[in-house]
Amino acid sequence: MGIHGLASFVQNYPSLNLQKAWAFKDASHNTDHLIFDGNAFVYHYAYLHREHWTHGGQYRYMAQVIQHTITALKQAGFALTFLFDGALPQDKENTRIKRYKDYVERTVLTMENLSPINAANKKQSTAFLLEGPQYRNDLYVIPPMTLEVCIQTLYELSVPVYICSGEADSVVAQYAEETCGYIVSKDSDMLVYPRCGKGYIPLDTLSVPSFNDLATTATLETTTDISIYAIVYQPQNLASLLRLDLHMLPLFGTLMGNDYMNIQVIKYPIMAWCSENAKASGHQLGSSQWPKCVAEFIRLMDQRSAAPGKYSSIISTIVSELEPVILGTNMSKKKEKVNTLAQNITDSVQRYIFEDLSASTPTQSPNTTSTTLSRHMSTHQYSRHVLDLWATQSFWGSIFLEDLQQESSWCVSRSLRQAMYRLGGMDQINEYVREKHHLTHHVISAANDLTLNSNMNFKQRQRLFLQLHHTSTPLIDTLINTVASPLRPLIVCLRYFIQQCINTGNPLADHEVVAILVASMIDLVPTVMPKEFNESDGPPYLTALGSAIFTNKTSSSAPTTANNGQETEELKIPSLKKRSIQLASQWQHTLLSSQYLSQVLLSTGQDTQGIWQHLQQSGVLASMYNGLVMHTCLQMGRLGASMGRMMLGASTKWMFLFGTLYDLVTGNSNGGMGRQVEKVFDYKFSKVTCLMDMEQRRSTISWMKSRILKKIEKQDRRMMINKSTTTSPHTKKSMKMTADGGGVRKSSGNAFSVLSSGCHFDDE
């Protein structure tokens, strides 16, 4: 994205840099307004805080980063506005295809390096060090839920957030001009907007104090040396350096080569023309001199045009001068390129100015009778994927790590999107997803068995939403009476995920369902139910692992161990296995597909019961998935750990909540999914939810925990004996046959006390 070579060019000229500082002590006098390119903001901070991205995203930590950044900016006195991209213009489809192919290549390369990545993770003494091949720039792929989590977090922080009907960058510039604010982005296109308010701040020059520096509000009020710093670029300074009129910067950016003007088409002809007509020597036209060459070319074209200073005349002159040069090259389709050159230049220039080129000179003031936001915002503030779908009849599934031998992880949640297509009045859609090692597209038909009446009331839409998630209508009463509103999306989505895995021929094993549920609860429960639960109620090891990154950022002595009440365990990074990677991606894409459908189907009416806010309830989406915890739980389940082992050290009420949710997902009552889950272990957990008296629940679960510990102690003793005893080849063979026996493993004890020495599944 951006203008080829312009960012590095301006960095070589310190005179273009305007150093700015905003002291916290002067916050009451700060009237500056920062207009953020929202997508650039998200990608910038996601990359800066890419800890353990290969595990699928640390979203609660990412939300905390956003919260810290926004809080600091507000405390410094800034007004903030975030503008996000809507539907991508049709003429940028080739750019998007190229970008998505790059994502697929990164995914392939990362999956091919799983062994060295796991080896690097295993060597680390804690879960916090950023070491290993996965942190190379050419491997990083943004985790799939990052954008949605950040947008939702901004909403929760009461920051003005707007989704544009199209791309946001030109709207950001217009709004900055309208409000006399600063553009904050990471796009060199912003350098050539002739009108952009007070200037352009590159995100990587915006310096916000660290977590520790902003520990308390009291500190901010009394500290004199804490400030926010930035470098500001103003278009008039760049124009002066290039010796161009200010209004010629859009043409300069276009001829430099951008997303709308192929540099391969324009660069050689301009350099050849300059070499011949400007008598410039060859060594002066290297890549470092390309910007000055373009500026000189524009000055000469302006002089030769019939109406100097007018775009239409200058563009016509450019085409007439470059046509013989292009036709004299070996370019493919060169005649076609010449015929479309004038229109391509005009279209590109138009994106940098706020008026119609054909109607006026480019020096007039912008029309402010209608505000920028009212003219460019999407009518429905849906997710970008949904707006894109409406505009282009295409769905672009985000690319992330998955098992390359399996079908795309987006396929498992396709029925939700097919319903969305039908709701949008579409018959067929192009879905762009990964297939093997390549990007491909499938023509997908909308759901043909979906009946939607435009007069359906909100309650009927609710019922339809449940049915599309394979949740029986009677279950709604149970959910409302039994489960807190923010936990309901977890039940609805997990039930759907279980059924769809069956439908696609890859059923979930019972230990995988347990792992997903436990992992989802670690961040979710204390976040959305703070009055009933705190982090200390959850399993200590998983809780410590889930908050390890944030703790490490805010403490000079971050914990590297967790005490579960019986033993101290060192925090470790879980291994990346293909099956776990696939499940993690499928689960996240299921959550996203469910959110997209809820926006379309449930965007009208009032929800008096809370369930229909779905994943957009405060804190829910960011807490629904934690990569390190999810892969740890999947690993524990795969290696045979019981429910009790996963939840070891958890409070009684936390374990009981798990039992309630597990029974709602897998129990046979109220349309449970138990028969759709492949049995590997006989957990027998549903009995817990039938206990009527709280004291009985406590005593029963306490007994269960003691049984778990006894089983673990017995196993540890057996392991010690085995290590100290020489085992015969015959005995080794018998042990191996027992461990790999498969089928349903019966437990002689309680459901909690399935032995942690169960089956091993090698999925590498």
- Predicted local confidence at residue 749, as pLDDT: 37
| Local confidence band at 542 (pLDDT 50, 70, 90 cut-offs) | very high
Poorest-pLDDT segment among 72-81, 441-450, 507-516, 543-552: 543-552
Mean pLDDT confidence for 615-629: 94
**Does residue 751 have a pLDDT over 60?**
no
Q: What letter represents residue 684's amino acid?
A: K
Poorest-pLDDT segment among 63-67, 114-118, 248-252, 465-469: 465-469
Backbone torsions φ then ψ of 755, nearest 5 degrees:
-65, 145
CA dihedral 3, 110, 58, 610 (to 10 degrees): 90
- Predicted local confidence at residue 642, as pLDDT: 79
Q: List, as one string, the DSSP characters of 281-314.
A: -GGGGSGGGHHHHHHHHHHHHHHHSSSTT-HHHH
- Predicted local confidence at residue 685, as pLDDT: 54
C-alpha 255/C-alpha 295 separation (Å) is 9
Nearest to 548 by CA among 46, 48, 52: 52
Tens digits of per-residue pLDDT, 191-201? 999 999 999 99
Full-model pTM: 0.85
Tens digits of per-residue pLDDT, 668-725? 555 555 567 777 766 655 444 443 344 344 444 554 555 555 555 555 566 565 555 5
C-alpha 1/C-alpha 187 separation (Å) is 7
Backbone torsions φ then ψ of 443, nearest 5 degrees:
-85, 115
| Local confidence band at 373 (pLDDT 50, 70, 90 cut-offs) | confident
| Local confidence band at 125 (pLDDT 50, 70, 90 cut-offs) | low
- Predicted local confidence at residue 356, as pLDDT: 67
C-alpha distances out from residue 624 to 491, 576, 582, 619, Å: 11, 20, 17, 9
C-alpha 596/C-alpha 467 separation (Å) is 16
C-alpha 357/C-alpha 347 separation (Å) is 9
> Which element (helix H / strand E) includes 280?
none
Residue 356 φ/ψ region, left for φ over 0, alpha for ψ in the -120 to 50 degree band, beta for the rest: beta
Nearest to 37 by CA among 174, 149, 141, 132: 174
Mean pLDDT confidence for 239-244: 95
Provide the 8-state DSSP code for 763: -
**Does residue 31 have a pLDDT over 50?**
yes
Mean pLDDT confidence for 307-316: 89
- Residue of 552 and 628 predicted with greater confidence: 628
Is 742 strand, coil or helix? Answer: coil
Nearest to 348 by CA among 157, 555, 72, 89: 89
Most confident of 563-577, 583-597, 745-759: 583-597
- Residue length of the chain: 764
Most confident of 13-22, 269-278, 380-389, 477-486: 13-22
Cβ 324 vs Cβ 226: under 8 Å: no
C-alpha 160/C-alpha 164 separation (Å) is 13
- Predicted local confidence at residue 128, as pLDDT: 61
C-alpha 622/C-alpha 7 separation (Å) is 33
What are the tokens at 573? 């990074």
Q: CB-based burial of residue 214 (10 Å sphere; 0-12 exposed, 13-18 middle, 19+ buried)?
A: buried
> What are the contacts of 259-266 at 24+ separation with CB within 8 A?
259/1, 259/2, 259/92, 259/95, 260/91, 260/92, 260/344, 260/347, 260/348, 260/351, 261/344, 261/345, 261/348, 263/4, 265/326, 265/331, 265/337, 265/341, 266/322
Q: What percent of the chain has pLDDT over 70?
A: 78
> 358: Cβ–Cβ under 8 A, 6 or more apart, which residues?
312
| Local confidence band at 553 (pLDDT 50, 70, 90 cut-offs) | low
- Predicted local confidence at residue 579, as pLDDT: 97
- Predicted local confidence at residue 212, as pLDDT: 63
pLDDT averaged over every residue in the chain: 82
**Does residue 746 have a pLDDT over 50?**
no
Q: What letter represents residue 477's amino acid?
A: D
> What are the contacts of 332-336 at 24+ separation with CB within 8 A?
none
Provide the 8-state DSSP code for 573: P
Q: How many CA atoms lie within 13 A of 422 on its CB side?
A: 18
Q: How many CA atoms lie within 13 A of 166 on its CB side?
A: 11
Backbone torsions φ then ψ of 179, nearest 5 degrees:
-100, 0
- Residue of 570 and 102 predicted with greater confidence: 102
Nearest to 55 by CA among 680, 745, 580: 580
C-alpha distances out from residue 342 to 245, 250, 266, 700, Å: 21, 14, 12, 79
| Local confidence band at 223 (pLDDT 50, 70, 90 cut-offs) | low
> Which element (helix H / strand E) includes 439?
strand 438-445
Mean pLDDT confidence for 475-496: 87
Mean pLDDT confidence for 507-536: 94
- Predicted local confidence at residue 735, as pLDDT: 36
The label of the residue with tokens 């449940």 reads 466
C-alpha distances out from residue 344 to 95, 248, 267, 340, 544, Å: 15, 16, 14, 6, 55
- SS3 percent helix, strand, coil of the chain, rounded to 5, is 55, 10, 35
Q: How many CA atoms lie within 13 A of 386 on its CB side?
A: 27
> What are the contacts of 147-150 at 24+ separation with CB within 8 A?
147/39, 147/42, 147/384, 148/383, 148/592, 148/595, 148/621, 149/57, 149/59, 149/62, 149/63, 149/621, 149/622, 150/38, 150/41, 150/42, 150/45, 150/46, 150/62, 150/63, 150/66
- Predicted local confidence at residue 262, as pLDDT: 85
Poorest-pLDDT segment among 7-11, 228-232, 393-397, 468-472: 468-472
Provide the 8-state DSSP code for 248: G
Cβ 443 vs Cβ 150: under 8 Å: no
Cβ atoms within 10 Å, residue 341: 20
- Residue of 344 and 567 predicted with greater confidence: 344
- Predicted local confidence at residue 377, as pLDDT: 81
- Predicted local confidence at residue 279, as pLDDT: 57
Please report the domains of the chain, with CATH numbers, ordered by start residue.
6-88+120-195+199-233 (3.40.50.1010), 243-350 (no CATH), 394-725+744-753 (no CATH)
> Which element (helix H / strand E) includes 227?
strand 227-232
**Does residue 611 have a pLDDT over 60?**
no
- Predicted local confidence at residue 333, as pLDDT: 85
Is 21 strand, coil or helix? Answer: strand
Is 435 strand, coil or helix? Answer: strand
